[in-house]
Each structure stands twice: as C-alpha cells, then as structure tokens.
Structure 1
C-alpha cells in the first residue's frame, strides 16, 4: 500500500461557458483549471470536486471522458494524469423541524451514478445548476438516497456558526437530523482540529476529514489529509473511512484553528472578542454575538469528558503557503520552478534547499509554517486569523 495526499472539498466557480455554479467561487475556478492546478501545481493525488451534480459540469466531464483526457477507474473515481477525481455534491438541508441550514457532502463512484443523483435531486431543489442548493426533503431521506446509489455521506465543516450541523443544525445530537449509521465521516472545518473535538462523545466512531472548502484555485489544499490505500480510488477511499483492511487516514494537515474565520466568539458588529454571556460589546456597544467554534465545541464536549480517547492519526498544524507573510507570486513561482509542487515544498524540501531559492528569512518562515510553530492572532466572525510577524 501507499500514502496519498487528498483534498475532498473543492468547489466549481464557473462552467466552461462562464455560467455560475458556486456564486461566491472565483471565475477561474473551472473544472479544467481545478484538475490542472491540483495535479501540476498543488501535487495532490486525490481530490473531491463537490459541484459535479450541475448538468453543464456533467457535460464537461463527459466530454473529457469522450476525448480520452479523463478515464473512469474500475475501482471508482476519474483518472486524470496523476490525479484521481471523486465526483461529489454539496447540499443544504433545512428540515421541517427547523434544523438548519446544514451543509453536507455526497460522493459517488462514477458519472453514471452522479447523473442519477442529479436527476433525483432536481426534483427537490429549485436550481440544479448551482452549488450548495437547499433540498426540500429531510436529512434521512437524503442519506438513504445517497447510500442506495452506493455513495458516501459526510456532514461538512460541522462546527462553523453558519450552515453546519452543530453551528445551526442541532442542539445536542446529530441524531436529531441524521441516521448516525449512514454517516461515513465528519469534516471538521478550518476553525477546529482533532484535539479540540476529542471529547465530543457521539463523534468518537467517525473518521475525521480535513478539507480546503476551496472557493478559488489558490485555496485548494489549504487543508488536506494523507491516506493509506492500495490505489487512489473510490472503493479504497470508502475502506479508509471505515478503517478496513489496513486502509485509513494516516495524518490530517490543517490550519491551526486560531487561523480559522470562526474560532473565537466575537461581536457581530465590530468583531471584538466577547464572552458568550456578555450583555453588550465593550468596544462598540453592539448586542449581536457570533458564537465561535471554540465556544460551541466546549458546549458539546461535556458529554464525553473523562472518557477514554479514541486513537486518531496525528493532526499537523500547517500554515498554507499563501498565508505566509512576504511569500508573494514571484517567490512562489521560483519555488515551484525549483521544486515542482506545493506538496514537495511542504513535505520534501529542506530548509537549506529553500534558502537557495528564496531569501533566508523567508525560507525560515516557510519552515516554521510547515512545522506549525508560528504565532497567531485568532480569527472570528468571518475574519481569518493572522500569522504574527
């Protein structure tokens, strides 16, 4: 078996004709650009593209299959150069019991199954061409449909204050909305990590994923994981999430939660840090509070405190290269010209090799960033944290 780098949450901003899919996504975030950048610049082995339900995206992928640029793998997934693409979809749930909005991810083994899912979903959403559309059925029905098609079902960025399972969806338990047995994994999100959530009892049985939720090409692989697989395919991914036959996630690479946009509880008006029980903001007097991920996790962790922890892969705090002060486009181009991909820069290249291509001070910044030893100012309320100089 072999280890593979994977990011399973990448949006499509526009189709090849320029039509919007993820409205907040970059115009350059097309399917063809995604697979090129993920393979050649980022150095990933597997990606999940989660807007493949959109009919024009399906047409573009099928055109790539027809002309031989993309091939469908026997074990599930699409093969492009050195990259495996897992077709997926992000869906928004808001059920009749006022649970939501909640974003979930569904992945499928091939385009024929994806087309069947897209056709089914078109009966329950207002605009099948767009990403993250609200589906007018309950969570369990969606789960059952995904599983009946042989798909994987994963709640997305589960702690963010908006559009997530624990942020807006449920009061205490995921069972309020979903069948726990039909969940394949949990996506943590940028403002949390394994160590923060290890005391949440009902998550103990699930594998954790760390994905980028990329809305632009540059954000691909800002979080990712390493998987131990026989080959990079859908079937092997499913085994890894279930930790079967030696397949598994061997490491999660993600931001220090302090860098996430929703880590701390802040004033909704001025983003000043606030206590959750404060009557008003000490800076501006504002009354709106945006509850931080750290606060919400603390609330949910009560049930599992004192219990034996599950053994999990190492969660490695790593600052994405585009967060590093002083690392501009020209320096980045020099690094890529010398070392090939971002995965090589982050994992293979020595400090000495870095210093031969960029100034020593910048080389030290990069080395400290990939070791997770930089200082941070915490983010909150939709504003990213910052790396301290």
Structure 2
C-alpha cells in the first residue's frame, strides 16, 4: 500500500465563464485553479470537488477529458497530472423528519454517474447551477439514489451549529433522518476532532473524515487525511471508507478544534463566551446563544454513551501554514521553492531543513504547529480561534 493525501470537500466559486456556483466562494476558485493549486502548491493526491453537479462544471470537465487534461480512470476518478479528482456534490436536506437543514456530500465514480445524478437532482431543486442547494425529496430517497448510481454518501461537518446533522438536523439520533446502512462515513468539521466525537456510540460503525470545506484556494488542505491505498481511485477510496482489504484512513490531519469558528458557545448578541449553564449573558444580558460544538457533543454523549470506542486512526492537530505568526507570502514562497509543496513542508522537511530557509523563529513555529503545540485561543459564534505567539513550555 502507498500513502496518499486527500481533501474531499472543495468548492467551485466560479465557472470558467464567470458564473457563480458557490456564491460565498472566491472568484478565483475555478476548476482549473483548484486543480493547479491542489496539485502543484498543496501536494495533494486526491481531491473531492463537491460542486461537480453544476452543468457548466460538468461541461468543463468533459472538455478537459476531450483535450486530454483529464483522464477517466478504470477504478473511478479523473486524473490530472499527479492528482485524482473525485466528482461530488454538496446538498441541503430539510424534509419532514428534520429539525433543521442538513448538508450532505455525495461522490460518484465517473462523469456519467455525475451527469445522471445532476439530471435527477435538477428535477428536485430550484437551481442546479448553484452549490449546496436544498433538495425537495426525502433524505432516504436521496441516499437510495446515490447508491443506485454506485456513489458514496457522507453527512457533512456534522456538529456545526448551522446546516448539519447533529448541529441542527436531529434531536438525538441520525436515524431520525437517515438510513444508517446507507452512510459511508462521517465528516467531522473544523470545530471537532476524533477525540471529541469518538465518545458517541452511534458513530462507531463509521470512519471519520477531515476535509477543508475550502471556499478559497488558500483554504484547500487546511484539513485532510492520509489514505493507505494501492492507487488513488474512487474504488480504492470506497474500500478505505469500508476498511476493506488493507485500505484505510491512516491518519486524520486537522485544525485543533479550538481554532474552529463554532467550538465554544457564545452570546449571539455580543459574542461573549458562555462557559457554564447560564441562562443569560453576563456581559450584555442577551438570552440567545450560538451553541458550540463542544457543548453539543457533550449533550449527545449523554444520549448514546460509548464505553468502548472503536479503534481509530491517529488524529494529528495541525495549525495551517496561513495561521503561522510572521509567515507572510515572501517567506511562504521561499519554503515552496525549497520543499515543492505544502505537503512537503509539513510532512517531509525537518526542523533543521526549515531553519535553512526561513528565520529560526518561523521555523520553530512551523514545527510546533505541525506537532499541535502552539497555544490557541478558542473560537466560537462564527469567529475562528487565534494562535498565540507564546507556546507551551515557553516562559
């Protein structure tokens, strides 16, 4: 088996003609730019583009196949240089069984299946061109359609307070909405990690995946996983999610959850953190809170305690390079010139190697960041946490 790095949740901001797909996505987040950035700058091996249902995005992919820029693989996926693209879609569910909207991810082995899914889905939502649109069918019917087309079905960022399975969609159990046998994995989201989520017995059957949910080129690979596969294809990815024939998720790499935008509970009026069981904000008196992921997971553990969690891959806390104090564009380019890609900087460059390229302090911060040893101020209420310059063990 070989190790491959995968980020399976990347948006398309604009089509080649300039039409919006993910409205909140950067204009520079085009298919061509995503492929180039993921391959040459980030050093990923496998990506999931989850706006591949948009007809113009499909057309772009088809044209790239015709010109030879993309090659459809026998095992599923489309090869670009050293990178394999898995076509996918993010969809919003809000049927009669949901307490609130839920985002899910669906992935398909080839463009034929993606086009079939897009055509079917276009009959059940208002605008097939856009990302993350609400579909007007029952959640289980959607799951069944994905499986009919040999796809993979994964609930997205499941604990986020808005538009997620446990954050908004259900009271206690995923079975309130989904057929549990038609789920292929659980995407944790930026404000949680394995250590927080493994205490939920209901999630024992599923592997955890960690993805960037990138709305800009720079955010690609802020979270990702290392996969052990024979080769990077859709079929091998499916086997890794099933932990079949030696394929597996080797390790998850993600933000320390404290950096996530929704880790802590905060007052929705003044953003003051709510640390206990207060009924009103001690700062402004507000009574409406944005419940943090950490608090929500603790509630869920009370419903489904898990005395014997399944064995899971290592979850490695990393601070993305863009968060490193003092690491500006010029120093970043020097690092890329020396080590090729961000994966090269993070996984292959030693601390001594880094010091040969950037100032010692910056090299130290990078090394601490990839070891998860920088001190972090927790985020919440839609605001990211912050990295503090001082770190553990420094006086």
Provide TM-score, normalisation by structure 1.
0.99
Judge conservation of contact 2:98–2:176 (CA < 8 Å) in 1: no
**1:105 touches 1:154 (CA, 8 Å); kept in 2?**
yes
8 A Cα contact 1:377 1:385, kept in partner? yes
- Aligned to 2:287, the other structure's residue is in SS state coil
- Residue 100 of structure 2 corresponds to 100
Q: Structure 1: how far apart are the matches of 2:206 and 2:129?
A: 31
Whether contact under 8 Å (1:201, 1:303) holds in the other structure is no
The answer to whether 1:317 aligns with 2:317 is yes
Match of 1:342 in 2: 342
**1:171 equivalenced with 2:171 (yes/no):** yes
> Are the counterparts in 2 of residues 276 and 291 from structure 1 also a CA contact under 8 Å?
no
Q: Does 1:24 align with 2:24?
A: yes
* Counterparts in 2 of 1:99 and 1:305: CA distance versus 1, 3 Å: closer
Partner of 1:297: 297
Aligned residues: 389
User: Is contact 1:276-1:289 (8 Å) kept?
Assistant: no
Contact 1:318 1:369 in 2 (8 A): yes
Which blocks of at least 5 consecutive residues in structure 1 are unaligned? none
What RMSD in Å do the two structures reach over aligned CA positions? Answer: 0.9
Work out the CA distance in 1 between the residues paired with 2:246 and 2:275. Answer: 44
Conserved in 1, the CA contact under 8 Å of 2:108 and 2:152? yes
Q: Which runs of 5+ in 2 are unaligned?
A: 390-395
Correspondence for 1:49 = 49
4+ residue runs of structure 1 moved beyond 6 angstroms? Answer: none
What are the superposed Cα offsets for residues 68-125 of structure 1, whole Å, 9 maximum, x if unpaired? 0100000000000000000000000001234320000000000011000000000000
For the Cα contact (< 8 Å) 1:91–1:134, is it kept in 2? Answer: yes
Deviation, structure 1 residue 286 = 1.7
Q: Deviations over 1:305-362 (max 9, x none)?
A: 3621211000000000001111111111111011100000000001111111111001
CA–CA distance in structure 1, aligned partners of residues 293 and 308 of structure 2? 23
Q: Which 10-residue stretch deviates more, 360-369 or 97-106?
A: 97-106
Distance 1:275 1:42 in 2: 37
What is the rounded CA distance, in whole Å, between the counterparts of 1:346 and 1:314 in structure 2? Answer: 16
CA separation of 1:160/1:276 partners in 2, compared to 1, >3 Å: closer, same or farther? Answer: farther
- Are 2:266 and 2:274, in contact at CA under 8 Å, matched by a contact in 1? yes
Matched, 1:191 2:164: no
